[in-house]
C-alpha cells in the first residue's frame, strides 16, 4: 500500500512539473577541450606572439592537449591562401599530456625572405574534423585553401562555445567549452617577419 501511494504521488508530482514546464528538455553535459601551445625557436620554448622573426630563422609549434586530440596545422602561403601541412598522411591524433613539436622530428618551419606577417591556423579537436580528414583521405591535401574556408570550419564548430585564452608558463593556454560534441579549437597564430 505504501509503495503504491509513493508511486502515485511521484507520478502526480512528475506530471505537475511537466505541465508547469510545458516540455521536458534534457541538456547534454558540456564538453571541455584544454590545449597549450608555444613557439619553439631552438632551445627557446616560449610564446611571445606576435613575435618578430627574421628570414631564414627556423621554428616549431609545440602543442599539448589535456586529453587525446587531433591536431592540424595550416600555414599561410599567400595573403589569403593556406596550405594544410600537418598531418601529411599519418594520423592527426596526439596523446594526452605530452608536448608534440610540429612539424616533427628532424624538421622545422623556415621563415622565407618575404617580409610582412606570417600566419598559421592551429586546429585542435577531441575528434577527427571531417572537413580536414576528407582533404587528406587521398594522401595528398590540396596545395592551397582559401582563408574563408578555414573561417567557415571555425564558425561551424564554434557554435555556442566559450573559448578562453591565457598566457601560462611559456605557452598560451586555451580552454574551449561547448554544449555539444565535437569540441574544435581554431586558433590563429601571427608572427611579424622582419629582415
What's the per-residue H, E or C state across the chain?
A: CHHHHHHHHHHHHHHHHHHHHCCCCCCCCCEEEEEEEEEEECCEEECCCCEEEECCCEEEEEEEECCCEEEEEEEECCCCEEEEEECCCCCCEECCCCCEEECCCCCCEECCCCCEEEEEEEEEECCCCHHHHHHHCCCCCCCCEEHHHHHHHHHHHHCCCEEEEEEECCEEEEEEEECCCCCEEEEEEEEEEEC
Count: domains in the chain: 1
Is the pLDDT at 26 greater than 60, yes or no? no
Decide if 8 is inside a domain.
no
Decide if 6 is inside a domain.
no
Decide if 10 is inside a domain.
no
What does pTM read for this prediction? 0.79
Decide if 2 is inside a domain.
no
Decide if 133 is inside a domain.
yes
pLDDT of residue 20: 44
Give the range among 22-31, 51-60, 94-103 with minimum mean pLDDT. Answer: 22-31
Decide if 15 is inside a domain.
no
Decide if 5 is inside a domain.
no
- How high does pLDDT run on average in the chain? 78
Decide if 19 is inside a domain.
no
* Residue 112, domain extent: 28-194
Amino acid at each position: 500500500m505504501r509503495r503504491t501511494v509513493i508511486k502515485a504521488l511521484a507520478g502526480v508530482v512528475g506530471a505537475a512539473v511537466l505541465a508547469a514546464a510545458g516540455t521536458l528538455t534534457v541538456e547534454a553535459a558540456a564538453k571541455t577541450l584544454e590545449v597549450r601551445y608555444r613557439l619553439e625557436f631552438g632551445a627557446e620554448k616560449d610564446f611571445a606572439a606576435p613575435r618578430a622573426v627574421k628570414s631564414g630563422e627556423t621554428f616549431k609549434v609545440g602543442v599539448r592537449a589535456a586529453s587525446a586530440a587531433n591536431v592540424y596545422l595550416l600555414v599561410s602561403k599567400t595573403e589569403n591562401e593556406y596550405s594544410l601541412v600537418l598531418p601529411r598522411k599519418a594520423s592527426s591524433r596526439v596523446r594526452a599530456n605530452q608536448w608534440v613539436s610540429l612539424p616533427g622530428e628532424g624538421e622545422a618551419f623556415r621563415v622565407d625572405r618575404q617580409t610582412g606577417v606570417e600566419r598559421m591556423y592551429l586546429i585542435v579537436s577531441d575528434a577527427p574534423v571531417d572537413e580536414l580528414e576528407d582533404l587528406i583521405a587521398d594522401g595528398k591535401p590540396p596545395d592551397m585553401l582559401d582563408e574563408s574556408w578555414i573561417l567557415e570550419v571555425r564558425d561551424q564548430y564554434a557554435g555556442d562555445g566559450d573559448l578562453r585564452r591565457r598566457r601560462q608558463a611559456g605557452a598560451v593556454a586555451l580552454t574551449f567549452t561547448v554544449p555539444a560534441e565535437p569540441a574544435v579549437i581554431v586558433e590563429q597564430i601571427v608572427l611579424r617577419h622582419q629582415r
